[in-house]
Structures are given as C-alpha cells and as structure tokens.
Homo-oligomer: A and B are copies of this chain.
C-alpha cells in the first residue's frame, strides 16, 4: 500500500480510497497480513486489460506510429521474444534482468530472472557476469524502464536487448511466472 501510493505519487489516503472502490467492484482483492494489507488484482481482470489494449492497438493507427517513432528515437532496441530464452538463460548464455521494483519482482517474475531495480542498476552493474548478454524486461510493451536499462547497460559495455513482453503477457500465454516468498 505504502508502495502503491508512492509509485502512483498519490497521497496514501487517496490510494486507499481508490482501492476500496476497486475492492467494492471486486476488481481487486485485499488480504490483511499483520500490520500490512496486500492487494491483488482479481482473477480475470488482467486478461480484460490485455483485451482492451489489443482493441486499442487494432483501432488506433496513430498509437502504433507514435510508439514506433518513440522506440526508434531511443536507438535500435530490437524486441526479443520467445521461450527459447529460458533455455539459453539456464545454460548461462544470457542474463535475464528484471528492472522493476523489488516488490513487483517478488509478486511474480520469470524463473531465471534476477532483480535489479532500474534506479539501482548503475551502482550494481558489478553483480552481472561480465561479457554475458543481458536481456532486460519490465512491465510490458508500454513500460519504459527496460528501454532505459538497455541504454545504461550498453554504455557500460554490455550487449543488451529488451524483452518486449512482461508478466501480464506471460501469464496470459501460460508461460510460468514464479513468486518469491
């Protein structure tokens, strides 16, 4: 909650009110665990959001144009995808990097991924095996964290690329997404 309010840059009270509304609408579920309350997006809601986005992509040509231009202007960040990635990661050929906040990583991430939030990346570059290609991801196609991460990694001499998709897409596609305790 604390963390949600901060990420949305809203007051804590306002965030709480929003969550109450969403809870009354059964779109999120709350679980009280000691002093904290954990909120979870309800089953099926993520899928609807993805459907909505697909419709938007299908109908708004200018959206595609804008995002294309944006990505192009950020340098050639060719999207990488596919499940072969998992095998390559297990074999140590690539490092899969989750650059979202630690709490988001804990809530669900790719099995082989390690967590370094973007704002800590520059200071923790030494944790990455040198000379190994890095594949960074964040929340999905419209999240810019991984784009920035790739920039930082390339500046530091790494071969780096961005994974276009994120946890919501993987869950929808049946790709395993694990949570940390």
Interface residues of A (CB under 8 A from B): 26-27, 42-45, 47-48, 51-52, 55, 58-60
**Copies, count:** 2
Specify the main secondary structure of chain A where it touches its partner: helix
CB-based contact B59/A44 at 8 Å: yes
Please, how many angstroms separate the alpha-carbon atoms of A44 and B53 in the complex? 12
Residue pairs across A and B with Cβ atoms less than 8 A apart, 6 shown, are A26-B60, A42-B59, A43-B59, A44-B55, A48-B51, A48-B52
Please, how many angstroms separate the alpha-carbon atoms of A58 and B42 in the complex? 11
Please, how many angstroms separate the alpha-carbon atoms of A51 and B58 in the complex? 16
Determine how close the nearest CB of chain B comes to the CB of A62; give it in whole angstroms.
10
Please, how many angstroms separate the alpha-carbon atoms of A58 and B27 in the complex? 11
Tell me which residues across on chain B come within 8 A of A58, comparing CB atoms. 43-44
Determine how close the nearest CB of chain B comes to the CB of A45; give it in whole angstroms.
7
Most buried by B among A42, A52, A55: A55
Determine how close the nearest CB of chain B comes to the CB of A60; give it in whole angstroms.
6
The 8 closest A-B pairs by CB, nearest first: A26-B59, A44-B55, A51-B51, A48-B55, A44-B58, A48-B51, A26-B60, A42-B59
